[in-house]
Amino acid sequence: MLEQTIVFTTLITALILFIWGKLRFDIVALIALIIVTITGIVPVEDAFMGFGHPAVITVAAVLVISRSIFNSGLAEIVSKWFEKLGKSVFLQVAVLTGFVTLLSGFMNNIGALALLLPVALQVARKTGTNPSLLLMPLAFGSLLGGLMTMIGTPPNIIVAMMRADAVGEPFRMFDFTPVGAGVAVAGVFFIALIGWRFLPHRKGTTSPEDLFHIEDYITEVKITPESPLIDKQIRGLRFPTGVEVNIIGIVRAGRKMVARAGYERLRKNDKLIVEADSDNLKGFIDWGKLKLAGSKKIGREKLGSDEIAVMEAVIMEGSPMIRNTAIDLNLRNRFGINLLAVSRKGERTIEQLGKIKFAPGDVLLLNGPVDSIHQTLKELRCLPLAERKLRIGTERRVVKAGAIFGTAILTAAVGLLPVQLAFVMAAVVMVIVNLISLRELYESIDWPIIILLGAMIPVGQALETSGGAETIASQLLVISGQMPPVATVVILLVVTMFLSDIINNAAAAVLMSPIAINLAYAMGASVDPFLICVALGASCAFLTPIGHQSNTLVMGPGGYHFGDYWRLGLPLEIIIVLIGVPLIMLFWPLGV
């Protein structure tokens, strides 16, 4: 009884911390692991066995493969296909959501969304469609697609391996397909035909000009012969109290300097590209004995050139920028880029840029050297929202990546190799054939997710060994009472879906799988329908932007508010229960 009390207290505390969000979910998982280990519930020698669990290895390999497919240039080819979409919102939603759903069945769903998010914004930009009508359907489609195969989403991988612990054999690659594909097809049809009409028309990222109104706060000023700025470096300037400006770059003799402008010594007649509101601009001009250079306000064209790119990007989960400011990160001196503006929920923030603490889903407007800004965004884990040019040899690289990936899927599907080994081999081959560099390989692995899984697997087993899972299962049976056995499946599905809306879906799968197995044992039923139910529920986080990274990723570009997600998510979850439970009963009978 004491062990159960410790486990339940630990899990409740972890859930509160997950929802609170001030501590990252991997740190919360490690705290839970430490508690159950030092209290003796998990033996010390088993504390870190989760990091060698097949589910963790498989998730890491799938992330590497997804990045390799992204590198192959598939996005560029896909963007050309979608250029022919007309102005019909129904057609745009149907094609984009359907395609991301299909992709997500065979690659990590975050990777599939990252591949198509810039494409969707390009379609919105060219057709004048409000991006808020496209991006949430795209995110939800990526979640639906993950249901279709074992490798589509981490919960499926976790549940597959939990089955191996319970009955000695994991779910196979396409065991999830009958239920997952049925639910995914129903979900896509609902979203395309009706669901998108429930969405609000928010102000999203159709173009940087519309989103950020560059001309309202970027100004060009000229250094006069009397200016005290002459022979000073920008990085060493100390502005008077009350004057807050950001000097983005220098224009000297027609040549623009941005990346290393802070180290240049200013000269007479230099033009400074300055970011400031009208009051701060006046104070800066008076203090520096400057004068406006031509028009008071300038546009995007002044911020870029053949050497300088202006780009908008969205901050992804796990970015080192999260909870830091531009000053903390020293963006200009460390990375050679300037932060021009930040948008949150579709609205440009009005705080001083250097003081804004970044959050997942924020849209940034940046400028920096053309030859390095994409690599910088990779290091910062930001997804560029600008279209990219087609690279030479793209088709050949896509075929190569597809062949390697297809071989791995076939090998695992027919049982020649365990799925974790087949996918690790595929990842290694992709490195050998130069589809992904070693550096990108390690960057592509979502380490917070790996830490979360490695830490939570022993915690989930502690729930099982302490008898906690059996206790919860017995209470669920009491709730279902005299109702038919299928009612227990419905309750399990709804509880798992609710849990995945407030905590990471992988953590939801780890916690609910032991409960599902104990429910099956208590009812004398097969474990399979209950585990499939957990896999389905854990991947259906449609009510909030925090339940899944896909939802968070579109929040900024789509201009969504927290309460917007349930408008489409609630009816979608109801449809999933109505379609999913009969499919589970059809393909995975209870056997009671």
Mean pLDDT of 207-230: 73
Strands (E) in 166-262, as ranges, are: 218-223, 246-252, 255-257
Q: What is the three-state SS of 27-84? A: HHHHHHHHHHHHCCCCCHHHCCHHHHCHHHHHHHHHHHHHHHHHHCCHHHHHHHHHCC
Q: What is the rounded distance in angstroms from the CA atom of residue 322 to the CA atom of residue 556?
A: 14
Confidence (pTM): 0.81
What does residue 478 show for φ and ψ, rounded to 5 degrees?
-65, -40
**Tell me: domain 206-384, CATH 3.30.70.1450, correct?**
yes
The sheet with strand 363-369 has its strands ordered as 347-348, 338-344, 363-369, 308-315, 382-384
CA atoms within 13 A on the CB side of 71: 22
- Rounded alpha-carbon distances, angstroms, from residue 102 to 118, 143, 392, 478: 17, 11, 26, 40
**Percent of the chain beyond pLDDT 70?**
90
- Judged against a pLDDT cut of 60, whether residue 392 lies above it is answered with no
Strands (E) in 142-289, as ranges, are: 218-223, 246-252, 255-257, 271-275
Instruction: Say how many C-beta atoms besides its own lie within 10 A of residue 574's C-beta.
Output: 11
| Amino acid 101: pLDDT | 96
- The rounded mean pLDDT for the chain is 86
Spatial contact of 228 and 298, defined as CB atoms under 8 Å apart: no
- Judged against a pLDDT cut of 60, whether residue 210 lies above it is answered with no
On the 0-12 / 13-18 / 19+ scale of CB atoms within 10 A, 218 is buried
| Amino acid 390: pLDDT | 45
- Judged against a pLDDT cut of 70, whether residue 592 lies above it is answered with no
Coil vs helix vs strand at 368: strand
| Amino acid 269: pLDDT | 87
Tell me the pLDDT tens digit for each residue of 18-43: 878 788 889 999 999 999 999 999 99
Q: What is the rounded distance in angstroms from the CA atom of residue 585 to the CA atom of residue 592?
A: 12
Instruction: Say how many C-beta atoms besides its own lie within 10 A of residue 297's C-beta.
Output: 17
| Amino acid 211: pLDDT | 54
Instruction: Say how many C-beta atoms besides its own lie within 10 A of residue 421's C-beta.
Output: 17
Mean pLDDT of 435-454: 89
Coil vs helix vs strand at 288: helix
On the 0-12 / 13-18 / 19+ scale of CB atoms within 10 A, 481 is exposed
Which helix (H) or strand (E) segment holds residue 352: the answer is none
Q: Which residues contact 16 (CB under 8 A, 6 or more apart)?
A: none
Tokens 């804004």 sit at which residue? 356
Instruction: Say how many C-beta atoms besides its own lie within 10 A of residue 37's C-beta.
Output: 18
| Amino acid 559: pLDDT | 83
| 327/508: higher pLDDT | 508
Q: Lowest-pLDDT range, 16-30, 102-116, 285-299?
A: 285-299
Torsion region of 38: left, alpha or beta (phi above 0 gives left; psi -120 to 50 gives alpha) = alpha
On the 0-12 / 13-18 / 19+ scale of CB atoms within 10 A, 57 is buried
| 130/247: higher pLDDT | 130
- Judged against a pLDDT cut of 50, whether residue 397 lies above it is answered with yes
pLDDT band, very low/low/confident/very high, at 261 (cuts 50, 70, 90): low
Question: Where, residue-wise, is CATH 3.30.70.1450 in the chain?
Answer: 206-384
| Amino acid 260: pLDDT | 58
The amino acid present at 537, given as its one-letter code, is: G
The sheet with strand 271-275 has its strands ordered as 255-257, 246-252, 271-275, 218-223, 290-292
Which helix (H) or strand (E) segment holds residue 371: the answer is none
| Amino acid 478: pLDDT | 85
Radius of gyration of the chain (CA): 26
